[in-house]
Structure 1
Amino acid sequence: MHGLSLVSTRKILSGYDIPMLGYGLYQVPVEVAEDVTVKALKAGYRHIDSAAVYRNERESVSAVEKAGLKRSDVFLTTKVSPRATGYEAAKESIRGSLEKAKTDYFDLILLHAPFGAKEGRLGAWRALVEAQKTGKARSIGVSNFGVHHLEELEEYIQSGGGGRIEVGQYELHPWLARADLVDWLHKRGAVVEAYSPLARGTRMNEPTIQAISKKHKKTPAQILIRWSLQKGFVPLPKSATPERIKENTDVFDFELDEHDMKLLHTEEYSPCAWDPTTQRD
């Protein structure tokens, strides 16, 4: 992990590069989304994560121009609406996202959740593969799919369904490390993204976090982002506060040692967001 910086990237199976630290727009109100995204871009972020249901896709794109950057300078993600299950609905969600955002393509489009049962999931995937083939999505993947959903999708892909699971996005932090999902994805060369890497601020005062924070003279948030990076994830911290937006990028001048990582290894399964990975239909 030595030599990494805010401009460091990883290679996706599609051949494109993804910046190793992203800025998340979940629950960022539309009226401030453009402004905070401009601040994030000016702080050095080149990776912005939005979604159809966040209702701030347009602001994620317009902020690029306002920050004085070219569209090609920034890695932009959206996600198919969880309600858009099946081929036609997912295709329409992708079309709507491109139209609202006023962009010709997204760098990454994900299926937001494994809803719609098997037929709905596989139909939505077909729309995603089509979007990639036509240049509307450079890379594709899934979010919140459990291992059983991933295996179902892999079987479909291998039987001629097309595409590859290039990225998996999940709630990930020391209290929800999801070793089974991470192992499954990493073994297949997929990039693993971590949303809510700060556990929504709910665990910042825990003694372990406080002790490691004091040891490295870093904030608890910086410790958690660094943990995510050292686990091989692409973390997507979210903040609407300019100081914290900048602070969350200051994670490349230190390293958690083996003892720190062991202390942060818990056996907890404590989601602080929704958890569709457990859905069984």
Structure 2
Amino acid sequence: MNKRELGLHIDNFVKLNPKQNTRPNINKYKQNSFFIIQNSFKENKKNIITSNYDDIFYGKNSKLLGKKWIEILLSSKDIFEYHKRIRDDFPYCKPRKLIKILINDLFYLYKNNIPNILIEDSEKKYKNELRKKLEKIRYFLDEQDWSNYFFNLQKLMHEYLITFLNWKKDSFNYESYNKIITKKLIDKNFTEKEIIEYLKFIQKVNLYRNALSKVKPGKESNKKIYEEWNNFSSSSKERFCWKIYFELLNFIKLTKLN
């Protein structure tokens, strides 16, 4: 695991927290994200300013102090116990505030080389050719060269889609693109939820690539995305791009194309 994957675990962890008193959708991967965040707090408790987490969780008549929240996080044996202890008294969460503070705190700790924050496989398992392409994408992300970032991301995504669909140069069928992808994902026993997520991911990459290319966006939908993008802060752009990057990794991993 490297720092670039930290963002995905932070995102998963935030989604596991109470929201309008509903139970989260928990799977093994998200449980793993809970333990990764919990362990990072355990190992670096003295470096974290607890008051930064004040008032993120709240009920109708009360708010949870950051110090108490961290005590609950550190002492819970798993995500189920943690979620119950938070939800019973503080069923509401401010996810945007929480994710912002977690990213600031945990990226700072990671950059200072505090060991064992993350425990998971890295990209070392990927083929060398794929690692080089991912490294190229990350270079443009680090440089905040968004046009080249989306260009290379889309290019790699299409390479893996063509492999996944077993398309040949003379058999492209873009007119029924979504139908073909959906059928292939069904054949591979993907769930309905996973299929929807990947179709959204593919569409998102294509839309942003078209809107942010160096050529002035022509279509009305591209113009809208272009304007929305320009209204994002630099940190929001970076978080958004890391999230899409992780979605590509997940697609490659789950379709077993690496």
Q: TM-score range by the shorter chain?
A: under 0.3
Alignment TM-score, normalising by the size of structure 1: 0.25
Structure with higher helix content: 2
- Look at both structures and tell me which one has the larger radius of gyration over its CA atoms: 2
Alignment TM-score, normalising by the size of structure 2: 0.27
